[in-house]
Amino acid sequence: MENVIKCKHCNGKNFIKKGLRQTQNRGKIQVYRCLDCGKKFTNDEGFYRMRNNPEKITSAIDLYFSNLSSRKVRNYFRRHLEHNSSHVTVLDWARRYTLKVHNYVNKLQPKLSGQYYADETEIDRGKVNDKFWCCVDWETRFIVDTHYSLTSNIEEAKTFLEKVKQKGKPKYIQTDSAMFYPQAMRKVFSSHSYHTTYHGEPRVKHIVNNVHKTGRHNVRIETVFSKIKDRVDDFRGLKALWSAPILMAGIVLQHNYIEEHTTTGKVPCELANLKLETGQNRWLRLIRLASN
Ligand SMILES: [Zn+2]
């Protein structure tokens, strides 16, 4: 997946180089003239008109989602770089590029094992507790999908499972014994005690892990949740409702596409067969891919 240069006025791909333009923060950039519409353009690699260079912006995002608060990222820059950026700017970058990359990767087709673990957890947002729903594929540790809601009930469970279903048919989904899962599983996946349909196709199995009976928690998903919750504890920006789901999506991107999983030693997207050739600065490469 290369970053294809095209005219930003007409999407034309016929152009000639037309010298360099000096920018304040991104060095010299190539200017092109489009041979289809005649206008000049520069290649938008995702950082058009940003007042800081891409390396600084992407390291801020990476540090922030690796569990450094926006204030700590600001302080780090203050100690190491000439120009300071406020903690609000750091948060703005995190949100802006999370949305961009999220919209891009959402169209990709990860190859998953189909052994899913789904659960919901509370997100402490000051006076209220929101619900964060998460479904993890076991072999790849890829987060299949998530859902953010104010309460947990059958309707929200269905919305969550519908999103999961969009990504393909799993072999089974394991949940805890919360009341709303069996009904939501029947509605969305027609899960049933009969293991095949009338046509003999296997149904998506719903495995219920009843902690009170088995004495064991849903450990497989809890390791992912505890990592996510560690980060949320330091998310002061989550106090704003509009901001919370975006930043949660950023944590999911960091998990799926940026960091190597401690057990598998691989980034989940690699195990899910998504060859993004993301190189060393993975956020930078993802933003460029998303900007095509
Ligand atoms: Zn053009």
* Residues paired with residue 118 on neighbouring β-strands, in sequence order: 135
pLDDT, residue 196, reads 66
Q: How far is the CA of 90 from the centre of ligand 1 (A)?
A: 34
Rounded to 5°, angle at Cα 264 from 253 and 285: 35
Tens of pLDDT, residues 245-268: 898 999 999 999 999 988 889 999
Q: How far is the CA of 25 from the centre of ligand 1 (A)?
A: 26
Q: CA–CA distance from 1 to each of 42, 91, 289 (Å)?
A: 20, 29, 7
Ranges of residues in the chain with a pLDDT under 70 are 1-3, 25, 193-198, 200, 215-218, 233-239
Q: How far is the CA of 1 from the centre of ligand 1 (A)?
A: 22
Nearest Cα neighbor of 47 from 56, 38, 34 is: 56
Question: Rounded distance, CA 211 to CA 221, Å?
Answer: 14
Domains by residue range for the chain, with CATH:
1-43 (2.20.25), 115-273 (3.30.420.10)
pLDDT, residue 234, reads 63
Contact 46, 66 (CB under 8 A): no
- What φ, ψ does residue 7 adopt, rounded to 5°? -70, 130
pLDDT, residue 1, reads 42
Q: How far is the CA of 39 from the centre of ligand 1 (A)?
A: 6
Reduced to 3 states (helix: H, G, I; strand: E, B; else coil), residue 48 is coil
Q: Which residues are in the CB-under-5-Å shell of ion ligand 1?
A: 7, 9-10, 12, 34, 36-37
Contact 137, 144 (CB under 8 A): yes
Torsion, Cα of 226, 231, 232, 237 (10° steps): -170
Nearest Cα neighbor of 281 from 46, 43, 56 is: 56
Q: How far is the CA of 36 from the centre of ligand 1 (A)?
A: 5
Tens of pLDDT, residues 174-192: 998 888 999 999 999 987 7
pLDDT, residue 59, reads 93
Nearest Cα neighbor of 154 from 129, 182, 128, 119 is: 182
Nearest Cα neighbor of 142 from 226, 286, 257 is: 257
Question: Rounded distance, CA 65 to CA 231, Å?
Answer: 7
Nearest Cα neighbor of 173 from 245, 243, 221 is: 221
Q: How far is the CA of 285 from the centre of ligand 1 (A)?
A: 25
Sequence-distant (6+) residues with CB within 8 A of 42 are: 21, 29, 30, 31, 32, 48
Q: How far is the CA of 221 from the centre of ligand 1 (A)?
A: 49
pLDDT, residue 35, reads 93
